[in-house]
């Protein structure tokens, strides 16, 4: 044991000691003192909200060779180690005491053993380096949504990235006084070789749900180290479950209907299913692209973006498909690129950027030339498939004016999307909140792509696109979502979208731009502007309403044959989907609420009744009330 006050006095300079002690929070002081005792840094820097402190991170990242300056003002590039390019799912575990149980689908380790292991890796991990003590906010400051956070790290890249992604939190800690209600994160990149983490075999990301504490060591990749991102989402899901609100893997955007009306939507999509491109639809506004908190306030559902920046996949970002993001990435503003290709003129390049790539340069493998292979003989791509960009949302031309509103935005709709070649229609509204959560969110599947797993079309279950981050039993998570509408006067409408439906010839039935029409139809429905056709699974658009939207917003003709092919109800495929998902719940989720099985049964009965009347494939025109 140690004396916190004495240790802090001895190990911090007078300036940084005063900064820390000005925040009168004993629990936070103990956390910092323990981290110093454990990691044994050469010095400690305590960050305030002052711009000079944030600027210090930027300079330090370059001086420490964790970032390099590029040829555009404000742009830098960071490289992770060759084998440290993504979230480490296998080594990301919950620390659970013997009496706790999350279910077999959630990765965990016995708490005492896990703490002992990760702390042994953190022991003296900051020798000769500076410890950075950073304070940030999840959600807007001074809000019911606010969660104060402290991040301890020895990586200036991590601190710099968090300064872009999150709102300052030093003054927020001053306001909470001695409150113990904050999240804690401790990270060390460990021993370095060529400025990247060396001991990848000892990479660990351990999450202590009892203590709202995350340990991360021997890694630099943002998904493992930027504590306030998906690591904090896991803590927030448990906190929300205990307090009656929701933490979701969702974008938040403003859709703009007739006469400039704005309606806010949140949306959950698995990877490679159009989440970011939907949040960045032309003519609409973005609040956030990744994580949202939902609360009930005055019998309404209100929502915030947890972040103020984007840590996005850069692959295929180009001037034609993503003009607003592309503009930010190719003009002066603060951007951290990671794991892309840098040419001899310090210009960044990435896969799918819309121009020819150089045949040599520097990338995540070091000096690179076309045809270079790794130790296993695999060709090294010029830019990693998971290469990223990190930027401020206010630097985007479509930033929504309510990004930082402490009250959040009033949510009019929720949309769930997946990669589905043969079942879901392009857009459909659920009959009510319960069916929306169960048939749309809790039954969400997505098909893999050949680019990521080498085998295309494998259906992967992904509960509300949040399965990787759940920190509570799955059944409780579903019930929390069902119960969330209690006491809400007009719950948000729930929709499904599917941009990947294919025809009999195997070609996609939707163009990339069509998603704007599907989302704008959802906006019209959320405001009661258009009628819909009742199907066994929900409500779909009428042809004339879609034809008008295609003409008005895409200047395109939309034919009746296209409409029929896209919105035909595929009954065998829908029945098979429900059967697949129900089996997963019966086999894997022992605490599944009975209402899920009852709702599946009701929808199956409706599908079979339609099948008896109309056959396996039902044209939307056959369902219009005569």
Whether pLDDT at 302 is above 80: yes
Q: What is the pLDDT of residue 577?
A: 97
Q: What is the pLDDT of residue 448?
A: 73
Question: Which entry of 273, 303, 333, 390 is annotated as an active-site residue?
Answer: 273
Q: Quick: pLDDT tens for 467-498.
A: 989 999 999 999 999 999 999 999 999 999 99
The domain spans of the chain are 4-65+87-244, 247-310+402-623, 311-395
Whether pLDDT at 250 is above 80: yes
Whether pLDDT at 454 is above 70: no
CA gap 554, 571 in Å, rounded = 31
- Mean pLDDT of the 127-148 span: 97
| Domain spanning 247-310+402-623: CATH 3.90.228.20 | yes
Q: Quick: pLDDT tens for 510-550.
A: 988 999 999 999 999 999 999 999 999 999 999 999 999 99
* Half-sphere CA count of 38, side-chain side, radius 13 A: 23
Q: What is the pLDDT of residue 444?
A: 95
More confident residue, 103 or 305: 305
In Å, how far from its chain's centre is CA 502? 27
Give the 3-state secondary structure of residue 26.
Answer: helix
Q: Please indicate whether residue 273 is annotated as part of the active site.
A: yes
CATH for 311-395 is: 2.170.8.10
Work out the pLDDT band at 451, boundaries 50, 70, 90: very low
Is residue 427 within 8 Å of residue 417, measured between CB atoms?
no
- Mean pLDDT of the 29-41 span: 98
CATH for 4-65+87-244 is: 3.40.449.10
Q: What angle do CA 179, 403, 215 make, to 5 degrees?
A: 45
Q: What angle do CA 417, 423, 429 make, to 5 degrees?
A: 50
Choose the weakest-confidence range: 4-13, 66-75, 443-452, 455-464.
Answer: 443-452
Is residue 413 within 8 Å of residue 528, measured between CB atoms?
no
Work out the pLDDT band at 276, boundaries 50, 70, 90: confident
Work out the pLDDT band at 308, boundaries 50, 70, 90: very high
Q: Quick: pLDDT tens for 333-352.
A: 999 999 999 999 999 999 99
Q: Quick: pLDDT tens for 546-556.
A: 999 999 999 99
Q: Which helix (H) or strand (E) holds 417?
A: strand 409-417
Q: Quick: pLDDT tens for 198-212.
A: 999 999 999 999 999
Q: Quick: pLDDT tens for 266-275.
A: 999 988 788 9
**Sign, Cα dihedral of 501, 507, 509, 515:** positive
Is residue 300 within 8 Å of residue 408, measured between CB atoms?
no
Residue-wise DSSP of 349-380: E-TTSSSPPPSEEEETTEEEETT-B-TTSPBP
Choose the weakest-confidence range: 29-43, 163-177, 412-426, 440-454.
Answer: 440-454
Q: Quick: pLDDT tens for 140-153.
A: 999 999 999 999 99
Q: Quick: pLDDT tens for 254-265.
A: 999 999 899 999
Is residue 580 within 8 Å of residue 459, measured between CB atoms?
yes
CA gap 204, 123 in Å, rounded = 14
Q: What is the pLDDT of residue 452?
A: 41
Is residue 610 within 8 Å of residue 569, measured between CB atoms?
yes
CA gap 103, 105 in Å, rounded = 6
Q: Report the relative pairing of strands 92-96 and 204-208 from DSSP bridges.
A: parallel
Closest CA to 188 of 126, 234, 132: 126
Q: What is the pLDDT of residue 490?
A: 94
Q: How many CB atoms lie within 10 A of CB 201?
A: 8
Q: What region, left, alpha or beta, does residue 598 occupy, with left being phi > 0 and alpha being psi -120 to 50 degrees?
A: alpha
Q: What is the pLDDT of residue 456?
A: 59
């Amino acid at each position: 044991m140690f004396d916190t006050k004495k240790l802090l006095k001895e190990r911090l300079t007078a300036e940084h000691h005063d900064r820390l002690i000005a925040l009168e929070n004993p629990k936070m002081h103990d956390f910092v003192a323990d981290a110093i005792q454990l990691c044994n840094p050469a010095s400690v820097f305590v960050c305030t909200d002052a711009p000079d402190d944030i600027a210090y991170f930027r300079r330090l990242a370059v001086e420490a060779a964790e970032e390099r300056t590029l040829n555009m003002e404000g742009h830098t590039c960071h490289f992770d180690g060759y084998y440290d390019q993504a979230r480490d799912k296998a080594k990301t575990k919950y620390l659970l005491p013997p009496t706790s149980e999350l279910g077999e689908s959630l990765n965990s380790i016995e708490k005492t053993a896990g703490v002992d292991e990760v702390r042994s890796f953190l022991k003296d991990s900051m020798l000769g380096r500076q410890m950075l003590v950073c304070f940030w906010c999840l959600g807007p400051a001074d809000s019911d949504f606010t969660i104060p956070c402290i991040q301890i790290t020895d990586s200036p890249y991590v601190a710099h990235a968090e300064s872009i992604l999150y709102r300052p939190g030093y003054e927020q800690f001053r306001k909470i006084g001695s409150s113990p209600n904050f999240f804690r994160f401790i990270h060390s990149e460990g021993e370095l070789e060529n400025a990247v983490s060396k001991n990848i075999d000892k990479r660990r990301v351990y999450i202590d749900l009892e203590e709202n504490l995350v340990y991360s060591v021997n890694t630099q990749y943002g998904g493992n180290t930027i504590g306030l991102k998906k690591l904090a989402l896991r803590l927030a899901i448990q906190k929300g479950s205990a307090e009656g609100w929701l933490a979701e893997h969702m974008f938040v955007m403003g859709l703009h209907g007739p006469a400039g009306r704005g309606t806010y939507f949140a949306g959950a999509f698995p990877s490679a299913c159009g989440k970011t491109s939907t949040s960045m639809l032309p003519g609409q506004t973005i609040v956030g692209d990744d994580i949202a908190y939902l609360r009930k306030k005055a019998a309404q559902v209100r929502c915030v973006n947890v972040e103020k920046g984007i840590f996005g996949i850069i692959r295929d970002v180009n001037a034609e498909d993503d003009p607003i993001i592309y503009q930010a990435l190719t003009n002066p503003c603060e951007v951290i690129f990671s794991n892309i290709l840098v040419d001899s003129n310090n210009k960044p390049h990435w896969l799918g950027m819309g121009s020819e790539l150089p045949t040599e340069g520097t990338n995540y493998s070091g000096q690179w030339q076309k045809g270079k292979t790794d130790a296993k003989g695999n060709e090294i791509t010029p830019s990693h498939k998971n290469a990223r960009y990190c930027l401020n949302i206010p630097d985007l031309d479509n930033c929504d004016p309510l990004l930082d509103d402490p009250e959040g935005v009033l949510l009019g709709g929720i949309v769930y999307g997946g990669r589905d070649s043969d079942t879901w229609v392009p857009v459909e509204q659920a009959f009510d909140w319960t069916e929306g959560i169960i048939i749309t969110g809790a039954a969400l599947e997505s098909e893999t792509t050949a680019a990521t797993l080498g085998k295309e079309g494998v259906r992967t279950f992904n509960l509300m696109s949040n399965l990787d981050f759940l920190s509570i039993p799955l059944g409780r998570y579903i019930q929390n979502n069902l119960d969330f509408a209690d006491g809400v006067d007009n719950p948000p409408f729930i929709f499904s979208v599917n941009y990947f439906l294919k025809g009999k010839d195997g070609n996609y039935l939707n163009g990339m731009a069509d998603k704007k029409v599907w989302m704008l139809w959802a906006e019209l429905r959320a405001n009661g502007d258009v009628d819909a056709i009742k199907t066994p699974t929900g409500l779909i658009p009428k042809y004339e309403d879609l034809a008008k939207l295609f003409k008005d917003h895409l200047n395109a003709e939309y034919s009746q044959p296209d409409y029929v092919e896209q919105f035909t109800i595929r009954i065998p495929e829908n029945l098979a989907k429900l059967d697949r998902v129900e089996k997963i719940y019966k086999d894997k989720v022992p605490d599944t609420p009975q209402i899920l099985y009852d709702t599946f049964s009701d929808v199956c009965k409706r599908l079979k009744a339609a099948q008896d009347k109309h056959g396996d494939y039902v044209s939307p025109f056959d369902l219009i009330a005569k």
